[in-house]
Amino acid sequence: IKNCPQTPRSIRNCPQTPESVWNCPQTPESIGNCSQPRGAEERKEPLSREERRRRRRATAKYRTAHATRERIRVEAFNVAFAELRRLLPTLPPDKKLSKIEILRLAICYISYLNHVLDV
């Protein structure tokens, strides 16, 4: 199991998985011809979307990747709010505004600019 490239990493590193469950020949010619666990052959229907999600979420690698993506998303979101804030006139100009205040002020400012253009 530990040297089988077709075995999922979570299984290779799992001490509770018995070697007898996997049919993985260790000869150089047969590496890459590893079969699925014996129980998987009996399964007729594919895994449901929910089962696949549950299995994927269980890995530390998935959680780390998700946290990284979320951090990047939040950072981009905050940069966009900072850019929008920079374009809005307030007194004093460096006044700290919450995100909802930035959105409401942007709506009012856009409405004002529309009104100015219409006149």
CB contact at 8 A, 1 and 17: yes
pLDDT confidence of residue 41: 52
Alpha carbon distance 95, 53 (integer Å): 44
pLDDT confidence of residue 50: 87
Look up the pTM and report it: 0.49
Query: Which of 21, 22, 18 minimizes the C-alpha distance to 5?
Result: 22
**Per-residue pLDDT reduced to its tens digit, 32-52:** 444 445 455 566 788 898 888
